[in-house]
Structure 1
């Protein structure tokens, strides 16, 4: 984007909203008038059955626009839950939409953001349908290591993941008991070390091989990919 386009975004009106852990701040069927950027914390996008069973199919970390699609589809077909205490930056749709006509670069950036979200979603669906429980959990940890490294919040394969075992189970399509067993297995194989919320990946090669992890689906530009490699200190 150009400097003018960046300044237009920085000049948008916004409201900081503090959200308690485990609070659904966008509910299913709700009409939204704002798009939310995660300033702090961890947010899960979820769908839910009539019986209350919940599947989280995206995690949003600081810097992510958690519901950019609400600009064109304001009625929420999915919900957003703060998995940890979080701070959201709410930007009115009425202020965002005119920028798309005035600044094509902003529209392209939003389009790319949506493409990345779709690519991640496709990979999560593949994980749920085609990988074992241990591989699904390993894949999630690999993804979060890369994404936290990209924003400067993970280094040397260490990062904080402020999610409970229930949250991770809802991300990976397992019960909490099964999730706990899979985490113990990863620790027992010397792949990871955990002490909530801290995650340390001991054997990156082994974890990525178990997960079948390839970061290509995160659509990182070459400069960002190099930044992540240096932060993770992996070849």
Structure 2
């Protein structure tokens, strides 16, 4: 279980032009067409940089927020929590993700955020600044809409994993998904990337006990489908792992040609 959140460990107000907005813009441009002025407007956003210790909560369930979180380094997880403290991780966010962009419209957070097992750096972007941006540039609003739709598509696949894929299949599927997303974010290759999550957190994401998670990981390693060296993940045979997970990356909507502007 995550430690009680004492936000933040360190905060620094950054000037306009924080470099973290460049990977976020690159993510948006995978699905949307934005002109030079619109791109510059995104790159000129202001934000407050925050460093968070591993396993700490960023936003708690039910909290009313006035900002969205852009991941700079490390990884964040979205989760739901029961009254007894048990958690289900419903999404993992990599650098370049605005992991709770939806909170711009739904500021009372029911799906909270936590840092995974490495120190996390985010930029907190004020909702008022994002709202001003989309009101000034409707095409940016459309790009944000597509971005949150893609996140929803990922969540739908996670529901299928927990509900219908067996433990081995859903684990292989998750490693394939993270690999593709890290590759497209320029943070490694789909066959070689860092995953700063402990097995307990992976179990929370895949609906398993930590013991069961450990057994599945060991099985995949013994079959030569995964190599884990600390946080480093290596996939010796991508096609074999993708076949094991029945992974088809189309739901990530990263290979679609950006929609032409009307």
- TM-score, structure 2 normalization: 0.83
Confirm or deny that 1:91 pairs with 2:118.
no
Instruction: Please name the residue that 2:173 is paired with.
Output: 139
Instruction: Please name the residue that 2:229 is paired with.
Output: 195
Q: CA deviation at 1:156?
A: 6.5
Relative distance call for 1:29 and 1:131 in structure 2 (3 A) is: same
Instruction: Please name the residue that 1:217 is paired with.
Output: 251
Determine the C-alpha separation between the residues in 2 that align with 1:139 and 1:102. Answer: 40
Instruction: Please name the residue that 1:8 is paired with.
Output: 41
Q: CA deviation at 1:223?
A: 6.9
Instruction: Please name the residue that 1:170 is paired with.
Output: 204
Instruction: Please name the residue that 1:41 is paired with.
Output: 74
Instruction: Please name the residue that 1:161 is paired with.
Output: 195
SS in 1 for 2:228: strand
Confirm or deny that 1:54 pairs with 2:87.
yes
Instruction: Please name the residue that 1:231 is paired with.
Output: none
Determine the C-alpha separation between the residues in 1 that align with 2:186 and 2:159. Answer: 27
Q: Is the 2:179–2:190 contact (alpha carbons within 8 Å) kept by the matching residues of 1?
A: no
Instruction: Please name the residue that 1:232 is paired with.
Output: none
Determine the C-alpha separation between the residues in 2 that align with 1:37 and 1:48. Answer: 22
Instruction: Please name the residue that 2:62 is paired with.
Output: 29
Pairwise CA RMSD: 1.3
Deviation beyond 3 Å, 4+ runs, structure 1: none
Q: CA deviation at 1:55?
A: 0.4
Instruction: Please name the residue that 2:146 is paired with.
Output: 112
SS in 1 for 2:124: strand
SS in 1 for 2:186: coil
Aligned residues: 224
